[in-house]
């Protein structure tokens, strides 16, 4: 296959746009370290661009062409929609997810042992557990105290914040550990986050857990919640620090959460900048993709269908039937990342059918694993249509699969939207170190992903 190189295809103006776009994207990453924070930032930006909360908009009667509305689903997923001429004709949808692999605190996380205060965690999504040791970490999330007050917690990402840490075994004593399989070198129960060590303020206490007691006092003083309130909290451990330029040429971005916020931000920018269209435009930002798209904020719930039904209900009967007709007539880019060729690990890829770094947005006819298990498997007619859209808009694009057939694989939200009868194909950014605490994308590919989504919505 002949691959194009984004850097060789763009002119000076578009070259400058790549770096301007990347700066905005990196700012989005810094503000959206969790799915809750992403949802908050997406809605903030959408409101600045004239989007109105769906329920409020419907109080003024049925929606009309050009109306811009958003749905906030449980503060953990969102939908942006720009009304077209006839919703029943279907929508152009770009569907991404905003959750990423991480560590979640357990319900009873805090304990003291050997003069150290630690937090028990449960990893979320597919991770290599050893990658989470010996790096600076942060915590973000919410807690409800006994008075019912929602408390936002953020530790580790502000300039003057302390960070947290998970230890690894010193090399001098690692003979047995090093003999294990890589997947067994660190167990899930060893991913314990160090949060304190100081027992000075509790030295006169009769408690045997002076370090823990000091941490609880600090939590009470700053955040006004107690140990029992951990039981009703959502607290996520993520790598500390901001997104960073990579390379002397600053051509790449290292950050937590590229999967799938690189596609989510591209979808957000695309719908905000798309020109007027007779077709209804929709950008989805789903939660829970990394654990199977389950739960009431995941794509497998009915919040999109219910949203469309509520729009039809404002102007007549048969709302749910019409919502399903609308979805069956829709065309979808399932916006999720794929793997790029890594010269350090060539053995897992079939290079004739793999994406390249800098090769533009990646189009995948199917994902799944091995015998296309769990795949949507887009049809040729829709692929032809998408190819024409991209070529007409001078989008640099490539095709690729997620590794060799028998090597493994992965899935996206594509099959969920396809079950309505919609035309769906996977389309997203090729990246390196996927699911690592810090992942890597090309600025050229991130920008071309945005350009592809915008062209699709405008076509």
In 149-214, which ranges are E strands?
150-155, 193-196
Sign of the Cα torsion 231, 187, 99, 366 reads negative
* H helix or E strand, kind and range, residue 35: helix 35-48
**Could you tell me the mean pLDDT of each successive run of 10 residues in the chain, 459 residues long?**
88 98 98 98 98 96 96 98 96 98 98 97 97 98 96 96 97 97 96 95 80 94 95 97 98 97 98 94 97 94 96 92 97 96 93 94 89 86 97 97 81 89 96 98 98 98
- Between the alpha carbon of residue 17 and those of residues 171, 288, 290, 397, 447, the distances in Å are 46, 32, 31, 17, 8
Residue 47 has a CB neighbour count (10 Å cut-off) of 13
What is the structure's pLDDT at 452? 98
> Comparing C-alpha atoms, which of 329, 257, 312, 406 is closest to residue 91?
329
What is the structure's pLDDT at 98? 98
Separate counts of helices (H) and strands (E) for the chain: 12, 22
Coil, helix or strand at residue 245: strand
What is the structure's pLDDT at 369? 78
What is the structure's pLDDT at 1? 56
48 phi-psi bin (left φ>0, alpha ψ -120 to 50, beta other): alpha
Query: What residues have CB less than 8 Å from 334, skipping those under 6 apart?
Result: 95, 376, 412, 413, 414, 417, 424, 425, 426, 427, 428
CATH class belonging to 6-100+256-458: alpha beta
In the chain, where the domains are located = 6-100+256-458, 102-239
**What's the DSSP call for residue 273?**
H
Phi first, then psi: give them for residue 390, nearest 5 degrees. Answer: -65, -45
Give the CATH number of domain 102-239; options: 3.30.2010.10, 3.30.590.10, 2.30.250.10, 3.90.1580.10.
2.30.250.10
pTM of the predicted model as reported, rounded to 2 decimal places = 0.96
DSSP state string for 68-126: EEEEEETTTEEEEEE--S-GGG-EEEEEEE----EEEEEEEEEEEETTEEEEEEEEESS
Q: Quick: pLDDT tens for 405-414.
A: 888 777 788 9
What is the structure's pLDDT at 331? 98
Distance CA 189, CA 121 (A): 7
């Amino acid at each position: 296959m002949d691959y194009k190189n984004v850097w060789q295809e763009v002119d000076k103006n578009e070259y400058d746009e790549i770096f301007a776009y990347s700066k905005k994207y990196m700012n989005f990453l810094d503000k959206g370290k969790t799915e809750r924070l992403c949802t908050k930032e997406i809605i903030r930006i959408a409101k600045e661009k004239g989007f109105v909360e769906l329920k409020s908009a419907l109080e003024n009667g049925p929606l009309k062409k050009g109306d811009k509305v958003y749905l906030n689903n449980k503060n953990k997923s969102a939908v942006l929609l720009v009304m077209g001429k006839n919703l029943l004709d279907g929508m152009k949808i770009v569907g991404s997810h905003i959750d990423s692999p991480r560590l979640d605190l357990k319900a009873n996380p805090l304990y003291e042992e050997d003069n150290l205060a630690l937090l028990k965690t449960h990893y979320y999504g597919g991770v290599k557990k050893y990658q989470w040791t010996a790096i600076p970490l942060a915590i973000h999330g919410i807690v409800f105290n006994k008075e019912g007050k929602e408390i936002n917690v953020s530790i580790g990402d502000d300039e003057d914040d302390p960070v947290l840490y998970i230890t690894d075994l010193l090399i001098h004593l690692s003979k047995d550990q090093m003999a294990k399989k890589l997947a067994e070198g660190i167990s899930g129960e060893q991913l314990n986050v160090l949060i304190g060590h100081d027992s000075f303020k509790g030295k006169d206490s009769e408690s045997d857990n002076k370090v823990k007691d000091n941490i609880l006092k600090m939590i009470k003083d700053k955040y006004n919640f107690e140990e029992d309130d951990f039981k009703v909290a959502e607290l996520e451990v993520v790598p500390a620090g901001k997104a960073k330029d990579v390379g002397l040429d600053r051509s790449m971005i290292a950050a937590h959460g590229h999967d799938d916020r690189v596609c989510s931000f591209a979808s957000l920018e695309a719908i905000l900048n798309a020109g007027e269209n007779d077709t209804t435009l929709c950008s989805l930002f789903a939660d829970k993709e990394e654990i199977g798209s389950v739960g009431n904020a995941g794509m497998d719930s009915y919040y999109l269908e219910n949203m469309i039904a509520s729009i039809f209900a404002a102007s007549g009967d048969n709302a749910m039937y019409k919502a399903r007709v609308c979805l069956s007539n829709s065309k979808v880019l399932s916006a999720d990342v794929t793997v790029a060729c890594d010269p350090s690990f060539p053995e897992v890829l079939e290079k004739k059918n793999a994406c390249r770094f800098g090769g533009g947005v990646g189009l995948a006819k199917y994902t799944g694993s091995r015998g296309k298990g769990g795949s949507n498997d887009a049809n040729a007619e829709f692929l032809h249509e998408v190819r024409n859209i991209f070529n007409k808009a001078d989008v640099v694009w490539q095709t690729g699969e997620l590794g060799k057939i028998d090597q493994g694989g992965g899935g996206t939200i594509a099959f969920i939207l396809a079950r309505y009868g919609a035309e769906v194909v996977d389309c997203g950014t090729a990246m390196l170190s996927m699911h690592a605490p810090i992942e890597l994308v090309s600025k050229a590919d991130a920008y071309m992903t945005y350009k592809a989504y915008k062209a699709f919505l405008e076509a």
